[in-house]
Structure formats: structure tokens, C-alpha cells
Structure 1
Amino acid sequence: MAEHIKIGDVAPRVQYVADGVQTSFTYPFPIFVETDLELRMDGLVQGSGFAVTGVGESAGGTVEFPEPPRAGAVLTLRRNLAVERTTDFQENGILRARTLNDELDYQIAALQEVKAQIGSAIQLDPSDIGGVTTLPLRPARVNKVLGFDSLGDLTVFDRGESTISVPFPNGVPRTVEDKLAERLSARDFGATGDGVTDDGPALQAAMNAAAASGKLLEVGEGVFRTTLPLLLPGAAAGLQMRGTILYAGPGGQAALTLGDGGTVNNQRKNYLGLSVYRSLQSDWIDEADVGIRIRNIDSCQVEIRRAERFTIGVQLLGDQRGCEDSDLRYGRIIDNRIGLDLRTATASAWMNALRHAGGHFACSSATNPGMGRFGVRLSAAEGAYRLHNAHLFTGPAFELQRQGTPGTVDAIPFLVEVDGRGLIAQGVRMEACSPFVARHTAGFSDARYEVAYVGTYGFTGCAVDYASTATRAGGTVLPLHQAAAALGTPRLAAEAANIRSRAFRWDGSSTGFEGLAVLSGNPVGPPNTLAGFCFPGLSLITLNADTVTLPTSRALGFVVDCTGCKEFFLAAEGSGLRPMAMQFDATETVLGGTAPVLWSNMNTAWQGPPSYWWEGNADLDSLTGGVALNRLQRVTLHASAAYAVIGVRGGNAASVLKSLRLYAPATEAPQVLAGAGRLWGTRELTASLAYDPPSLASGAVAIQAVTLPYVQGGDFVQAGFTGQASAFVEWTAAVTTTGATGTVTARATNRHPSTPIDLDPGTLFVRAVKPRL
């Protein structure tokens, strides 16, 4: 050594993780000889296979390998001096400074090593003085557990009797075994989570033990591959997962089933962090191929992080009991034909009052591209209970890949195949989906879909699609990209606030109503067009002081152009009134029973020829469970309808009508047809002809008959002339004949006392107004 080593304040230890490339590793502390450096690889001391440089250097040196250590290997370099005296000073000899410095350097280096080792040891706090810290002799500590007594002194306990307690007041000491047995871990039963080993038997053993002990089962970090379908019985307190189950078992099975079937109530459980992934993508043929099946839950907390590549990702199943009153949160529900299935299996099951949060329901574009896919399905097995009620979805996202523009397969967020009431979906996101947020195939009512975003492939809509099997128009869509505030209040399309005040005398036996058409339940013929079915007035309608009595054979309704708007809302005030709707195509030809109408809160009944109308199966004021749910009805018309009559008929001999209103969605402004060339709904009749009045002597009268169909005696009539004006020619009119083809006689009288008047040619107009009743 050229000079003595300087010992700085440098820890005598350094550690590296090899990257498979690096061959040179630095140690920043000095060593005196090469053997002072100890090298460990993954904890094992290495005696050869490397070279050391920098011996005797204050700044240390390097360790050189001819080949780089394997990637991931942990290399530990530390100074490990032999604690021995290597020099001796002679009495009365020369005390050389270099020799003394080398000796002191060696001692300081050794003390650094001692300090480093003491720093890694268990030791008392500097403020903790006294107490027993010495281990008992070997015979006294055989098969014992090391611990601390009530004074904090070191002692030993029997392995089966050692106790611990929480470091807080009133903590109760318990055995270590009891403490460790609070929760069960899948690894307690041999599960590895390495993604290769078949952990199925170990996982099932752990689940059986959790059920036998009533404990919560933990599945820790890792990928737990299983070739067995797994079942956690309902007797277990729950399941908490931080890892993922990789299912590599047979198809047509549920990879993970939680809870018991039959009549067992799976109540007050926590299923958290559930994550199941199928090793091979399902072909979506077999609906028994389910990722996570949860049975008969009640008052439970469920968190599903992942369910991927199954026919049905997650299925809540009501067996001989049901699922209710639980909170569920979803993460990635990917590449399943049906992401979430809410299903009843028996006639005694139910599916009610579930709250669903989040969820990314998506499919990859290459996953079974020729098959339809759905985010959430409400379903029932054959013969099972079909009334699903009160489901709340908050913030679900759907990215279902409808395959092309326009879409070639169904990619619909909600598929509702059951009856029931109350499905609320808020903040729905739709990307790459069909232009429908939902499809209803049965009689579900009171579903509301609030769509916050529609994107990808351009905006294509977010309506409700009613299948041919649907019996209710039970869905409402609130697209927030439109005027959301206005959508909460439908547009008033037509109104008869006081039906009685609209009544007028059409002829000697018939009553008409302004703005409305009168329909017969048994028209002669029957007719086949809009004009044939819509009468301006009919008999058998009784006018009361403030109301109108409609017999079962009569209906009153508004006639609308429904070319663009297919959805209306009907409200009526009165009693015993039955909603009805009649449809016509673009040529105004009546549509038959193959073009059904749907009502929102009641089933539809087809009244075939000669009536040709659809009506609800209950009166608007009838009660459902003691509640008047039917007073406001949505009516959804068939896609082929271009014109419709929407109104009410008498439900019994004493049916009374006070008022009638028709609404449309706020985005629509449908035309209401009455008068202006249509015979019904107007009190006023008009006609005209070209006329050249003769020369009139003073006091003379000229008479001209004008044909005015449907004018009747008692109608108010007037005449007017657009030719040359004269203050002395007075025009009057009178009804001269009655019948289907009526005549109005117009009279021109020269009131000038002496001068004859000859008017230029012009147009003669006559007008008749039916009297109010």
C-alpha cells in the first residue's frame, strides 16, 4: 500500500440486483486484503468465480465477473474482517506513525462492522432500562414460543398456550393459533397462485373449511389456475380476493359459485374483489358457461373486479328463494355474450331491490363477431317467477362492438325479458352499440334509461326496441345530449280541458266535439280508411251538466300524424274510461292486428273488425294494489303507422269523461288533424262559387243556391261576396234543404231607395256553424 487507508463514514455493505448484462459491481468501502470482502449471491456465500480490485484503496474497488450474473440475482458485498491482532509494538522500540495508523484503521473498520450488525438486531429502546433480556437455557426453551410476560421481560410460553393481545386498553389476550385462525387463506391449504399449478383442489378445500368454520376466506395475490368448478357454500362468512382465478376447466359450468341454492338464504355476506378469467374464450353457445354465479343473496356487499371470456360473465340466481336488498359494484365485465344476468330459476324465486354501481361491459371486435351481445339481462327460466322489481344502475359503461356501420349484430346494453316494474339506469355510457339502449320482449313497466353519452360510429340513437312479443311500452329514454330539462316534461300535443264545452249538434241525432273524432265500436261496412272511421258526430252520447257519458260502443280521440312520432302519452279525467288507439298507414288505410300498439302500464287487447282498434285491458281509473297507476298511459305505435286516433271509449254504461289530453316527447311536435278539409272535429262548414249578381233595381232581391254538404236546419249560416263592394247591397243566407247534401240560399238585397245596382262578377262564399249544445 502506498499510504495508509483512510476509514470514512461509509457503511461496510452494499447490495445490487443483477440485470443479466452488468459484470462489474462497485463496493464503496475499503478492505485491507482480498479475503476481507465477502460476496453473497441470493444469500449464499460465493468463494470463487469473480475477481476483486481496489484492495487497500480508501474509496474501495470493484468485483468483476467474467460472465454477468443471471437477471434478478441479488448480490450482497460486505466487509468481513477477521477480529485478530496483526501487529505488535516492541518495548523501547520505534513507534512508527504508519504502523499505528494501520492498526487504528483496522480497529475502526471492525467497529463499523459491529455497528452495522447491531443495527440489524432486535434491541431495547435507549429509554428502556432494565428488565430481563436473557434467553432461558436450552432445556427450558425446547418446544416453547418466545414472548414477553406482563412486565415486558423476555420469557417463553407453551406453543399451544401462548397468548397475545392488542396494544390497547382492555385488550383480551388470545392464543396465537386463535389469532391466526380469524381468517382462512387459500395458501393455508396449499394454493400457490403461480398461474401454472392446478390450485383447484386447494381452493376447494379452503372453501369447504371456510364454510365449516363460518370464516371469511382470503385468496391472496397471484393467479390461481383451476380445472375444477369452485363452490363457496353459503355458510362461509364471505370471500375476499386480491388475486385472480384462472378457469381452465370444462365448459358448461360456473367457474365460481357463491352461496347455496334451494331455499337457503345467503344473507349478510361480503364478496369482495372477485376476479375470474377463462383460459379460453367461450363460443357463447352454452348459457351454462358462467364466470361468477351468486345465489340467493340478501343484504350482501359484492364487488366484482373481473369476469371475462364466458357466455355469461356474472349471474345472480334466485333459486327457491331470491336475490334482494344488496349492493353490487362491477369492474371489467369483458368478452361475455351477456355481461350480467339477473335470473329467477323457479316459481318461488324473486329478483328485487338490487343496487348496481359502475361496470365496463365490453366486447373485443374480434370476439364472436357474428353473434349478438348484451350488457345486462333480466331473465327467468321456463315457468319461473317473472316479476323483477326495483333495480338501480348507476354509471354503467357499454362498449359492445356492434360490428360495422350500420351494425350487423345486436349490441344492446339492456335486454329485459321479464315482467315487473322499476328499472332505473343513470349515467349510461354507450359506445359502439346498436341504436337501442334496451330491448323489451315482455311486459316490463316503469323502466327509465338516462343516457349520458352515445359515441363511436357517430350518433345512432338510444331508443327502446320493443320485440313482437312485448306487451307493454314500459321504457323511457332520457338522452342527456338533448334538452334534458325539457325532456322531464312532455310536450302538450292536444287538449280538451272541458269535453262538455266542446260538444255541438252535428245533426238531429248526432253529437260532435271540436278538435276530436267520434268513433263507433260497430261501424257499418266496416270502412277501411281514416275518413270512414272518424265520424264528425254520432248518437248515443249523453251530455250532462259538466260531463259526457260515453257508452261502450263510442270512443273519442285526437287524430295525429305519427309519421315521425311513435310515442304519445294519454291522460283522461273521468271514470270507467278505457284507452284506445287505431292506426292507419301512409295511404290512410286502417292497419290490422299484425301492427300491435303497446301501453305502458297495462296489457293490450285487440278489438278486431269492425272496430279495428287496440285498447288497454283495464280502465284508466282502475287501481293496482290500491294505487292509481293507470291514469297516465304511454302508447307506443307500430313502426308502420303514419296516422293514428288516440283516445278513450266507454268502459261501462256509466263511463263519464271530463277532459282529455295528449302529450308527445319534448323533441317531437306531431300534427293534430281536425277540420281544414277533415270532416271531423269542426263546427264550421264552408263553400264558394263564382257568381255574377244580376242588376238589382231599388229594393230588388237576387237569390243563389250554394251546395254545402252536411248543413242542417238550425245551423248558423252566413253569406259573403268578394266582388264589387256596395254599402247598399245586403247579403243574407238561409238553409233551404237538409240531408247529406245540404243547400244554403244566399240572398242579395238592394237597399238603396232609388238607384239600381249592378255588381261586377266575384266569388260567393257561404258559411255554416253548428250550434253548441
Structure 2
Amino acid sequence: MPEHIRIGDIAPRVQYVADGAQTVFVYPFPIFQPDDLAVFVDGLSLSAGFAVSGAGNSEGGIVSFVQPPAAGAKVVLRRQLVMERVTDYQPNGVLRANTLNDELDRQMAALQELREGLAGSLRQGPGEVGARFELPVRPVRANRLLGFDSTGDVTTFSRGDATLSAPFPGGIPRTVEDKLAERLSARDFGAVGDGVADDGPALQAAMNAAAASGKFLQIGEGTYRSTIPLTLPGAAAGLVMLGAILYAGAGGEAALTLGDGAAIRNRTKVYQGLRVLRSTLSSWEDERDIGILIRNQDSALIEIRQVERFTIGVQTLGVERGFEDSVLHLGRFVDNRYGLDVRTATAAAWNTSIRYYGGHFAMSIATWPDKSRYGIRLSAAPGAYVAHNRHVFDGPAFELQARDRPIDGIPFLIEVNSRGVVARNIRMEGCDAFVARHTAGAQDHVYEVAWASQGYGVDIDYTATATRVGSVVRTFHQAAAHREATRTLAEIPNLRAAAIRWNATDIGFEKLACLSTNVSGTPTLLPQFAFPALDSYTLTDRGVILTGGRGLGFVVDTRRCKEFALAIDADNPRMIIQCFGAGGVLLSATDGTMVRASGMSLTYVAGPRWWQGNADSNDAGLTRLQTIRLAPEVQSAIIGVARIDADYEVRSLRLACDPSQSPPVLYGTPELPHGVRELKAEMTWDPPAIAAGASAQVNVPCPGVRPGDFVQAAFGLSTSGVVFLAQVGAQDVITVTAWNRSTISIDLAAGTLRVRAVKS
């Protein structure tokens, strides 16, 4: 074993974090004597309360504390030699190796301490030469800031005039304070972002400062836990989040509110990277429990990256002002009962003309499995403005985990009277068979479903409170090209040409039933309301004028198809729909809401026993084109127009439906003989033997035939010289004459006699 220690290449300093129990700490570097070791606890130098052993050993030794340092305390052990010469070589004396080695060891140890100290000092890099880092003399540097001049040498600046310049041509010198105040950071106000400390007060202080200065606020990387709800006032320029807010406060609050409420308009704001998480899952019962509440925005750019575990994930709110003309980029909305709530708070507010891009609205399989959930809701507070128009959603995806469960899992819940809402490229996984539910007067919505895991049967659910229909579902995964086509069920391009004169007073129309606003007696069945002809129709050059008590309609089988489109060319017509259940039995208002229309309300009128539009169908009221939606129990219906307030001319009618359906239009049957110009009848007849030049006659019943109709007759066997002539013998009867034009008697066998009448 050597008689002197060896100084290895090891730093003469070691640091520990105490655990409150440990009393022995190792120092791995050599010391010459115990006094060479300096002991620090939390930065304070200790002179007692410990013992040092291992002096003179090359591997170091240990420090033993009488009492263990407190948990979390920083323990630093550092070699700290006395800088003095401890040996002296005598002239002509013996130069002993041990003495020389000890001296060199001390010098090496001192150099290691010097290197350790220099590691934390300000110095120029090894690739630079010529810099001057000498401090100015004390009077020159007093009350000034230390910095660097244009050559990189140390200089001083006035505390109020310290400036920085952008390293580009044209850069203007600016004070350090001005540069640092360009954008505020939450960390400037003490926010930690470790997910443990309560950063709420610091975050709110930062938001207040951003509002007072009109600047952007940046919330940096990390998780910022807050036990208080936070508000960024509208006076702030905007917010950029690189981290996330973890809300651990009381329920019934909005975790983060952006913008001012009342009648203040928040214009051209930018909110980016918004992430708000709830520390525990909401009960989904309190709609005040909101992740991000954004108020009164106009021309804003908003990016929402993540919001989770609230009753309402994000609510955009018009409060006495509008929320309009803005763009929202949507990210992950997870485990919120309503992912996005588009809402108004007062009658003076509105929420309209917004573009939404993306959005993944998802649920965990175990999240409230017994509670209904919705991706996007359009809503209004009681008495608030309800016309949420012109919203466009691009590419939202919904995974609501509701399929095969007794709950609702519907992408869109529309509780307002919105128009012109378009959702494109929708993805539905684990949702209901409904892409949307409408509970009020929404109309003219278009839902384009790119994919639905439940197959092709995607529809809109109109609840009992819905007052409008006429929205469209386009399922692009089911023969999209076919569904874009239009199926016309029946059309009368010219009512004047379709008119049928039944007699001197009564007029009917091809394919149409004639309707009366006051059917006598107590009719209860469909055939008792659909007349082949009635009086009081006035024909014009192009159509027919409906006078008091008259209407016209198509009779349609509605057992499978429930939605129809009626187009009318007329002067301010009034639409009517009459509903019938199984067996053609009349359905009235007491049977519930049987029918809804797209552009108007319908009222049941007891006199004619039909549902009637509350307004005329005209361009001024955007009511000319109407879609009709029938209740499931309606098995057949009369859809048409009637004279209500004033006489008007009807020129053309057209009825259409979804091209995937092809329901029959009912007319010209024994049960419903209306709508045909041509009448037919037949019977079996065995004519008697007819002498040469003689004739025989028979009467064929033909309901509807009247004197003046064109009639014909034919016999089902070879007539061998017998000619069959027809004439209207009496109302509803065609008299057929069999005339033997030959020179011999002819006895025809029994056969079928057919007659045909054509009305003018």
C-alpha cells in the first residue's frame, strides 16, 4: 500500500437530498485531514454536529451526522483546502519522495478545486480570443445594469435605458423591459405547471395582466392545476396554450372562460392550443359544469386541442351580442355529455355563420353507461334567440358508445329553429341510427354521412315537439349517386290539360282527388274524402281557380315512405295534408302530431278534418317548396292544396320522395276511382240469336259515365258479322247494341263484353 494518497480525476464536490433518516453520507474524493472537508446543508456551512472519517484515503470517506438532516434538505460535501505552503526544502537537504509527492498532491487537489469553481463562472468560449470581461470600477458600475457592448465586451447600461436590438437590418433598439413584456407568460406570475401545485391564482393574475395590457398570454408546457375557475377578459389579445389546465375546483362552474359577456363584442381574438381537463368525471347533471366557455366572439380564430370529463365540453355563447363569423378548429372531446354546445343566452344574442373543422367526439366504454350523450348541440336559454343559421361542420367524428344500449348516442342535437346548417364527411361509430335529433323548428339541414358502423339506416329523429322537417341525410356509403337522383311520384305539368268534365257542373283532374272543405255527414274513411269530381272549379287558360270550399291533392300510400316533397306553381297556395291509418281510417289531431312541414307550422282544422299550413306557400316567405314528414302510424295520406282565404289559380303540381323509396300513388281503382279520364267496365254476356239485320242490346254498369262521354264496346269472341255499338244509356250505364249486319241469323257463344268511356 502506498504511503501517500492518490489524487484521481474526480470532482471535489458531491451533493445529496436527505430523506430525514439517513445520517451517513459518502464523499468519493480524497482529503488530507478532516478540516479539508466543508459541509453545507441547504446552503449553510456547518462547523459542528458531524464527524469526518477517511482523511488520507484515496477513495474518500464518510461524514456522520449526529442528527439526520431534514427530509428534502440538500447536503453538499466539498473539499476546501487552505491555500498555504506546508513544506520547505532545505539547501543541500535530502529531497524525500514522500514529501515531494504530498506537495504535488496538494497542488493537484487545489487545481481541481479551482477548475470546479471556474465551471460556474462567466467566461468566453475556447474558440474566441480578445474579449474583455473586466468589471468597470465600482463608481462606474454602481446602480447600472451589466451587459455587453457592440464588440461583445463587458459594459454597463442605465437601469432605465438598457436596450436590445433585433439582429437584422433595420432593427430598432428597445428596452429589456419592453422586450420581455411583448408576450406574457403564466410563469411570469409564479405558475409552476407540475400538476400538483395550485396554479389557479397565478394563472388568474396572468390573465388579468394580459387584459390590462391588451397582450397575448402564453401558458407554457406542463399541467397547471387550478382549484378556481379562470377568466381571460376580452381586452386580452388572445391565449396560446402549450400545456394543459387541470381543473380541480368546485362543480357548477366554467373551468376556463374566454371573452367578455353582456353586450361587449370580442373582435378578432386568437385562442390556440386550448386544453382543459377535469380532475374527476362530472356527474353530467349540472349544465353549468363547462370545460371552456367562449363568449361573444366576432371573426375569431379558435383552436381547441382537448377538453375532457365535463357535462359540456365547450360552449360558444352569444350573450346580448352575437357569436359569429369565426373559425373553430376542433380536437378531442372525450367523456363530455355534450361535446360542443352552440348556444344563445338572451333574445338580443345570436350564434350564426361559424365554420367548424374536425372534432373527435368520443366516450370511454365505462363512462356513465346509463346516460344519453350527444356530440354537438345547438341550444338556447328560455326566451333566447333561436335562429342559429349558417353553421358548417367539416369532418367531425363521433364514437358515442351507445349502440345496443337503452340510451341515446346521437351526433347532433338540434333544439333551435336553425336553417342552413351543413355537416360534411361525418363518421359515426357506436352511435344510434340517427345522425341528428330535431326538437323544434330546425329546417334545411344537410347531414353527409361518410361512414356509419350501424349500416345504411341513418335518419333524422323528429320528436313530438318538432315543428319543421325538410332536412336531408346523405349516406355516402349507400349508393351515393343513386340517392342524389330525384324520384318524381306524380306530376301534373298542366292542370288545364288534365281537367276532366264529368258532367255539366262537376270537374275532376287526372291523378288528383277533388277535395271539399266541408264533407257532409260523418265520413271516417279515405274514399269518403277523395272525390272524382266536384263543382265550383273554374278553368282558366293555364290551370284552375280554386274557389270557396275546394281543394286538390295526391293520394299516396305511405306505409313505408314517410317523407315527401310538394312543389306547386300557383298564386299563394295553401298546403293541406289529410292522414289515414290502417284500413284507410281518418286520423285526427287527437291521435297526436301526424305530420310536419319544412317551412311552416301545420294546424289541424276540424271542419275539413285535415292539417293545414299556417301560411301561404310563396317565395317571399321561403315557403314555396315544402317537405312533408308523416308520423309512423300514417298509412296513407292526401297531400295537396286548398282554397282558404282567397281564390287563387293553380297551374302545376309535383310530388316527389327519396329515390330509395317508390310508394304508389293511389287513383283509378274500384275503391278510389278519382283521377282518371278513362272509365272501363266488363261483364259476361251470351247474346241471343240475332236475325239478319236485327240487333240485341244489354246495359253495362260503368260508374262515373255521363251522357256526352266518348264510349266504345268490344266482345271477347269473333263476332262473324256482328257489330258492337256503345252509347251512354243513362248515368253510370253504357248501353251496348249488337247489330247483325250479315244476311243470315247469328247466334254468338257467351263471352266477355268490355266497354270504355273517355271523358272530355
- Same fold, judged at TM 0.5 (above): yes
CA contact (8 A) 2:712 2:756 kept: yes
Alpha-carbon distance between aligned partners in 1 of 2:555 and 2:113, rounded to the nearest angstrom? 100
CA shift in 2, pair 1:362/1:171, >3 Å: same
- CA deviation digits over 1:197-250, x for unaligned, max 9? 222222222222222222222222222222211122111222221222221211
Alpha-carbon distance between aligned partners in 1 of 2:274 and 2:161, rounded to the nearest angstrom? 37
User: What SS is found at the alignment partner of 1:492?
Assistant: strand
- Of 364-373 and 226-235, more deviation after overlay is shown by 364-373
Unaligned runs of 5+ in 1: 2-9, 16-30, 34-41, 57-79, 85-106
Residue in 1 aligned with 2:737?
Answer: 747
Q: CA deviation at 1:596?
A: 3.0
Residue in 2 aligned with 1:618?
Answer: 615
Q: CA deviation at 1:333?
A: 1.3
CA contact (8 A) 2:352 2:390 kept: yes
CA shift in 2, pair 1:642/1:201, >3 Å: same
Which of 598, 601, 614 aligns to 1:600? It is 598
CA shift in 2, pair 1:339/1:507, >3 Å: same
CA shift in 2, pair 1:728/1:119, >3 Å: farther
Residue in 1 aligned with 2:27?
Answer: none
Supply the AA of the counterpart residue of 2:686: D
Q: CA deviation at 1:617?
A: 2.0
Which of 442, 454, 460 aligns to 2:452? It is 454
Which of 556, 569, 582 aligns to 1:586? It is 582
User: What SS is found at the alignment partner of 1:422?
Assistant: coil
Alpha-carbon distance between aligned partners in 2 of 1:443 and 1:552, rounded to the nearest angstrom? 31
Alpha-carbon distance between aligned partners in 2 of 1:710 and 1:651, rounded to the nearest angstrom? 29
User: What SS is found at the alignment partner of 1:305?
Assistant: strand
Alpha-carbon distance between aligned partners in 2 of 1:499 and 1:158, rounded to the nearest angstrom? 94
Which of 497, 516, 522 aligns to 1:520? It is 516
Residue in 2 aligned with 1:760?
Answer: 749
CA shift in 2, pair 1:543/1:112, >3 Å: farther
User: What SS is found at the alignment partner of 1:568?
Assistant: strand
Q: CA deviation at 1:461?
A: 2.8
CA contact (8 A) 1:576 1:654 kept: no
User: What SS is found at the alignment partner of 1:445?
Assistant: coil
CA shift in 2, pair 1:665/1:114, >3 Å: farther
Residue in 2 aligned with 1:256?
Answer: 256
After superposition, where does 1:324-335 map in structure 2 within 5 Å?
324-335=324-335
Supply the AA of the counterpart residue of 1:582: Q
- CA deviation digits over 1:648-694, x for unaligned, max 9? 22355441111111111121111111114330111222222221111
Which of 683, 700, 704 aligns to 2:677? It is 683
Q: CA deviation at 1:302?
A: 1.3
Alpha-carbon distance between aligned partners in 2 of 1:362 and 1:128, rounded to the nearest angstrom? 58
Alpha-carbon distance between aligned partners in 1 of 2:619 and 2:184, rounded to the nearest angstrom? 57
Supply the AA of the counterpart residue of 1:658: R
Residue in 1 aligned with 2:555?
Answer: 559
Q: CA deviation at 1:595?
A: 3.2
Residue in 2 aligned with 1:426?
Answer: 424
CA contact (8 A) 2:274 2:304 kept: yes
CA contact (8 A) 2:464 2:593 kept: no
After superposition, where does 1:11-410 map in structure 2 within 5 Å?
132-137=132-137, 140-141=140-141, 144-402=144-402, 405=404, 407-410=405-408
Residue in 2 aligned with 1:492?
Answer: 488
CA contact (8 A) 1:211 1:237 kept: yes
Alpha-carbon distance between aligned partners in 2 of 1:125 and 1:487, rounded to the nearest angstrom? 73
Matching of residue 737 in structure 1 with residue 730 in structure 2: yes
Alpha-carbon distance between aligned partners in 1 of 2:541 and 2:172, rounded to the nearest angstrom? 84
User: What SS is found at the alignment partner of 2:444?
Assistant: strand
- CA deviation digits over 1:562-608, x for unaligned, max 9? 11111111111121211222111121111111233211122222222
Matching of residue 634 in structure 1 with residue 627 in structure 2: yes
CA shift in 2, pair 1:233/1:576, >3 Å: same
Q: CA deviation at 1:453?
A: 1.2
CA contact (8 A) 1:11 1:116 kept: no
Alpha-carbon distance between aligned partners in 2 of 1:693 and 1:123, rounded to the nearest angstrom? 132
CA contact (8 A) 1:650 1:656 kept: no
CA shift in 2, pair 1:269/1:760, >3 Å: same
Supply the AA of the counterpart residue of 2:611: W
- Of 595-604 and 344-353, more deviation after overlay is shown by 595-604
Supply the AA of the counterpart residue of 1:694: P
User: What SS is found at the alignment partner of 1:519?
Assistant: strand
CA shift in 2, pair 1:217/1:49, >3 Å: farther
Q: Provide the identity percentage.
A: 52
Q: CA deviation at 1:641?
A: 0.9
Which of 402, 410, 413 aligns to 1:415? It is 413
Q: CA deviation at 1:49?
A: 13
Supply the AA of the counterpart residue of 1:751: R
Residue in 2 aligned with 1:77?
Answer: none
Q: CA deviation at 1:442?
A: 1.1
Residue in 2 aligned with 1:664?
Answer: 657
Alpha-carbon distance between aligned partners in 1 of 2:382 and 2:374, rounded to the nearest angstrom? 20
CA contact (8 A) 1:443 1:474 kept: no
Matching of residue 711 in structure 1 with residue 705 in structure 2: yes
Q: CA deviation at 1:551?
A: 2.1
Q: CA deviation at 1:630?
A: 2.2
- CA deviation digits over 1:121-157, x for unaligned, max 9? 9776899775645443466445543322244433122
Question: How well do the aligned residues superpose, as a CA RMSD in angstroms?
Answer: 4.5
Alpha-carbon distance between aligned partners in 1 of 2:662 and 2:118, rounded to the nearest angstrom? 87
Matching of residue 466 in structure 1 with residue 462 in structure 2: yes
Residue in 1 aligned with 2:641?
Answer: 648
Residue in 2 aligned with 1:570?
Answer: 566
Alpha-carbon distance between aligned partners in 1 of 2:111 and 2:741, rounded to the nearest angstrom? 141
Which of 484, 487, 504 aligns to 1:508? It is 504
Alpha-carbon distance between aligned partners in 2 of 1:558 and 1:250, rounded to the nearest angstrom? 60
CA contact (8 A) 2:570 2:651 kept: yes
Alpha-carbon distance between aligned partners in 2 of 1:704 and 1:120, rounded to the nearest angstrom? 128
Alpha-carbon distance between aligned partners in 1 of 2:111 and 2:483, rounded to the nearest angstrom? 82
Supply the AA of the counterpart residue of 1:435: A
User: What SS is found at the alignment partner of 2:326?
Assistant: strand
Q: CA deviation at 1:474?
A: 4.1
CA shift in 2, pair 1:719/1:150, >3 Å: same
Supply the AA of the counterpart residue of 1:623: A
Residue in 2 aligned with 1:69?
Answer: none
User: What SS is found at the alignment partner of 2:391?
Assistant: strand
CA contact (8 A) 2:124 2:131 kept: no
Residue in 2 aligned with 1:699?
Answer: 693
Alpha-carbon distance between aligned partners in 2 of 1:236 and 1:362, rounded to the nearest angstrom? 32
CA shift in 2, pair 1:146/1:612, >3 Å: same
CA contact (8 A) 2:579 2:594 kept: no
Alpha-carbon distance between aligned partners in 2 of 1:530 and 1:589, rounded to the nearest angstrom? 6
CA contact (8 A) 2:594 2:634 kept: no
Q: CA deviation at 1:351?
A: 0.8
Alpha-carbon distance between aligned partners in 2 of 1:667 and 1:50, rounded to the nearest angstrom? 94
Supply the AA of the counterpart residue of 1:719: A
CA contact (8 A) 1:309 1:336 kept: yes
CA contact (8 A) 1:343 1:379 kept: yes
Which of 433, 440, 443 aligns to 1:442? It is 440
CA contact (8 A) 2:456 2:478 kept: no
User: What SS is found at the alignment partner of 1:712?
Assistant: coil
- CA deviation digits over 1:741-767, x for unaligned, max 9? x2211111111134x222111111122
- CA deviation digits over 1:289-317, x for unaligned, max 9? 11111111111111112221111111111
User: What SS is found at the alignment partner of 1:672?
Assistant: coil
CA shift in 2, pair 1:371/1:117, >3 Å: same
